[in-house]
């Protein structure tokens, strides 16, 4: 698939009990058990109605809505999904609710949600509803801790609390089908064109997370953007993600220029194609964090 081909079929059955729904830019995963089901990733407001339509088409009304981490592109779809599925319990990682309630985070969430709606519109995907006017909340959600498990009936959600990218990040493995839904833990992938590493909170933790997930040897990997990975794609993706992080950190640490200049250069290298779904101001803030973590 090229970055211009956004017509890949959704919903798509990846393996028994695991669907991917949404679209090329925003991937959500449905784990279906005999007694319950879970939607992992809650995306953005502009994709909510597309996801609901696809869930209806496969006859699934999720019992759980899992927020992988509290960044705008993973949580601004939550209010619309909660409205449609009021019976569903919301699950998030420890610290996610606190991060989301910070005043700076609240303002950024709304700005990015509006921008992503415009981005999708410009790429032929019409939002089903207006952007959010109020920030989402994770108040009173269920908190998933490392190694917690949830039995859906023949399918187990096994939670991993991981670091390196964002506070409150959780990865979900489904051991019965050798699947892992890992959100942004592989970085931001440009399929066939490279990887933008996302070590925003800690470089060592970021690599540790990659290695921990790779050690599970999953057959199916659910990423949040630009498509799921199956079979031989999986090992290659982990290798590419690790190399991208190591090489970018090395490059930054060996450059004596001031941090702001380096952050601007990293922005210029990566702010293209699919990454423009975010505002340039947002990605500039991210590259500043990357330079800071690389030099720590």
- Residues written for the chain: 296
Tell me, what's the pLDDT at 263?
Answer: 98
In this structure, how many other beta carbons lie within 10 angstroms of the beta carbon of residue 11? 18
**Rg over CA atoms, the chain:** 18
**Bridge partners, 204 (sequence order):** none
In this structure, how many other beta carbons lie within 10 angstroms of the beta carbon of residue 6? 16
Greater confidence, 105 or 95? Answer: 95
pLDDT of 4 strictly over 70: no
pLDDT of 203 strictly over 80: yes
Q: How confident is the model at residue 68 (pLDDT cuts 50, 70, 90)?
A: very high
Tell me, what's the pLDDT at 204?
Answer: 98
Q: How confident is the model at residue 83 (pLDDT cuts 50, 70, 90)?
A: very high
Query: Which of 292, 267, 286 shows the shortest CA–CA distance to 108?
Result: 286
Q: How confident is the model at residue 105 (pLDDT cuts 50, 70, 90)?
A: confident
Task: Please give the Cα distance from 188 to 54 (Å, whole number).
Answer: 25
Go through the domains of the chain in sequence order and give each one's CATH number. 12-253 (3.60.15.10)
Tell me, what's the pLDDT at 8?
Answer: 65
Average pLDDT, the chain: 96
3-state SS, one letter per residue, for 90-114: EEEECCHHHHHCCHHHHHHHHHHHH
pLDDT of 172 strictly over 90: yes
In 253-295, beta strands by DSSP E: none
Tell me, what's the pLDDT at 6?
Answer: 53
Tell me, what's the pLDDT at 3?
Answer: 43
Tell me, what's the pLDDT at 265?
Answer: 98
Q: Which two tokens stand for residue 115?
A: 């921008």
Task: Please give the Cα distance from 219 to 250 (Å, whole number).
Answer: 31
Start-to-end CA distance of the chain, whole Å, equals 37
Inter-residue contact 296 to 122 (CB < 8 Å): no
Task: Please give the Cα distance from 251 to 116 (Å, whole number).
Answer: 31
Query: Which of 181, 280, 172 shows the shortest CA–CA distance to 234?
Result: 181
Quick check: pTM over 0.75?
yes
Per-residue pLDDT tens over the stretch 228-261? 999 999 999 999 999 999 999 999 999 999 999 9
Token match 């399929």: residue? 191
Q: How confident is the model at residue 2 (pLDDT cuts 50, 70, 90)?
A: very low
Tell me, what's the pLDDT at 89?
Answer: 98
Q: Which two tokens stand for residue 186?
A: 């592989």
Task: Please give the Cα distance from 238 to 227 (Å, whole number).
Answer: 14
């Amino acid at each position: 698939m090229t970055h211009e081909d956004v017509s890949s079929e959704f919903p798509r059955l990846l393996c028994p009990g695991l669907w991917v729904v949404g679209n090329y830019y925003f991937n959500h995963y449905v784990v279906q058990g005999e007694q319950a089901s879970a939607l992992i990733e809650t995306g953005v407001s502009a994709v909510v109605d597309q996801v609901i339509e696809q869930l209806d088409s496969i006859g699934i009304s999720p019992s759980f809505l899992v927020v992988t981490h509290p960044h705008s592109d993973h949580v601004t779809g939550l209010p619309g999904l909660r409205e449609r599925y009021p019976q569903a319990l919301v699950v998030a990682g420890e610290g996610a609710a606190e991060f989301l309630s910070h005043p700076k985070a609240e303002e950024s969430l709304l700005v990015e949600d509006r921008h992503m709606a415009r981005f999708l519109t410009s790429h032929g995907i019409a939002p089903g509803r207006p952007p959010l006017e109020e920030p989402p909340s994770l108040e009173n959600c269920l908190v998933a801790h490392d190694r917690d498990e949830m039995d859906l009936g023949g399918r187990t959600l096994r939670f991993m609390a991981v670091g390196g990218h964002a506070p409150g990040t959780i990865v979900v493995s489904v051991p019965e089908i050798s699947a892992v839904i890992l959100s942004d833990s592989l970085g931001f992938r440009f399929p066939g064109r490279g990887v933008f590493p996302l070590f925003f909170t800690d470089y060592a933790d970021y690599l540790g997370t990659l290695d921990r997930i790779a050690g599970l040897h999953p057959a199916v990997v659910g990423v949040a953007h630009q498509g799921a990975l199956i079979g031989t794609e999986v090992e290659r993706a982990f290798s590419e993600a690790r190399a991208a992080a190591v090489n970018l950190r090395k490059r930054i640490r060996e450059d004596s220029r001031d941090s702001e200049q380096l952050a601007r250069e990293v922005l210029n290298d990566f702010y293209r194609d699919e990454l423009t779904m975010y505002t340039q101001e947002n990605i500039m803030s991210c590259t500043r964090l990357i330079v800071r973590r690389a030099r720590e």
